[in-house]
Protein backbone atom coordinates (compact mmCIF):
# COMPACT_ATOMS: atom_id res chain seq x y z
CA UNK A 1 0.00 0.00 0.00
CA UNK A 2 2.77 2.44 0.90
CA UNK A 3 4.49 1.89 -2.46
CA UNK A 4 1.20 2.74 -4.20
CA UNK A 5 0.92 5.92 -2.14
CA UNK A 6 4.50 6.87 -3.04
CA UNK A 7 3.81 6.27 -6.77
CA UNK A 8 0.48 8.13 -6.89
CA UNK A 9 -1.03 9.52 -3.67
CA UNK A 10 -3.80 11.27 -5.61
CA UNK A 11 -5.79 8.03 -5.93
CA UNK A 12 -6.20 7.64 -2.16
CA UNK A 13 -6.45 11.40 -1.51
CA UNK A 14 -9.22 11.74 -4.13
CA UNK A 15 -11.13 8.81 -2.63
CA UNK A 16 -11.03 10.05 0.97
CA UNK A 17 -11.89 13.61 -0.13
CA UNK A 18 -15.03 12.80 -2.11
CA UNK A 19 -18.15 14.44 -0.68
CA UNK A 20 -19.97 11.13 -0.05
CA UNK A 21 -16.96 9.69 1.79
CA UNK A 22 -16.48 12.85 3.87
CA UNK A 23 -20.18 12.85 4.75
CA UNK A 24 -19.93 9.29 6.11
CA UNK A 25 -16.45 9.29 7.69
CA UNK A 26 -15.47 12.91 8.23
CA UNK A 27 -12.86 15.12 6.61
CA UNK A 28 -9.34 13.74 6.09
CA UNK A 29 -7.61 16.35 8.24
CA UNK A 30 -5.52 15.41 11.26
CA UNK A 31 -5.37 17.44 14.44
CA UNK A 32 -2.66 19.90 15.47
CA UNK A 33 0.98 19.28 14.56
CA UNK A 34 3.09 17.45 17.10
CA UNK A 35 0.46 14.91 18.08
CA UNK A 36 0.73 11.33 16.86
CA UNK A 37 -2.37 11.26 14.68
CA UNK A 38 -3.34 9.81 11.36
CA UNK A 39 -5.09 11.59 8.51
CA UNK A 40 -8.45 11.36 10.34
CA UNK A 41 -7.11 12.54 13.69
CA UNK A 42 -6.93 9.13 15.39
CA UNK A 43 -3.88 8.05 17.37
CA UNK A 44 -3.02 4.82 15.52
CA UNK A 45 -0.37 6.26 13.18
CA UNK A 46 3.29 5.29 13.26
CA UNK A 47 5.49 7.45 15.50
CA UNK A 48 8.17 7.89 12.84
CA UNK A 49 8.39 7.66 9.06
CA UNK A 50 8.24 4.09 7.74
CA UNK A 51 11.60 2.56 6.83
CA UNK A 52 11.27 2.85 3.06
CA UNK A 53 13.86 4.24 0.68
CA UNK A 54 13.23 7.92 0.00
CA UNK A 55 10.74 8.39 2.83
CA UNK A 56 11.57 10.66 5.74
CA UNK A 57 9.57 12.76 8.18
CA UNK A 58 9.37 15.64 5.67
CA UNK A 59 7.81 13.58 2.86
CA UNK A 60 4.83 15.45 1.40
CA UNK A 61 2.52 12.46 1.97
CA UNK A 62 3.85 11.39 5.37
CA UNK A 63 0.34 11.52 6.86
CA UNK A 64 -0.74 8.71 4.52
CA UNK A 65 2.55 6.80 4.73
CA UNK A 66 2.39 6.63 8.53
CA UNK A 67 -0.97 4.83 8.50
CA UNK A 68 -0.66 1.41 10.13
CA UNK A 69 -3.61 0.09 8.15
CA UNK A 70 -6.40 1.29 5.92
CA UNK A 71 -9.92 0.04 6.46
CA UNK A 72 -13.32 1.57 5.81
CA UNK A 73 -16.32 0.24 7.71
CA UNK A 74 -19.86 1.54 7.78
CA UNK A 75 -22.23 0.05 10.31
Contacts with 50 (C-beta within 8 Å, 6 or more apart), sequence order: 2, 65, 66
Long-range Cβ contacts of 46-55 (<8 Å, 24+ apart): 50/2, 52/2, 52/3, 52/6, 54/6, 55/2, 55/6
When pLDDT is averaged across residues 57-66 and rounded to a whole number, the result is 87
Q: What is the pLDDT of residues 4-50, one digit of tens each?
A: 999 999 999 999 889 998 888 888 876 666 565 667 767 777 888 88
> Can you give the pLDDT at residue 33?
65
| 3-state helix vs strand vs coil in the chain, percent to 5 | 35, 5, 65
> Can you give the pLDDT at residue 14?
92
Domain ranges of the chain: 2-65
pTM score of the predicted model: 0.75
Amino acid sequence: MRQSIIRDPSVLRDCISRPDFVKMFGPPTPGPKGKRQNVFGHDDALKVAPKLEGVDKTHKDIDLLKLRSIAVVKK
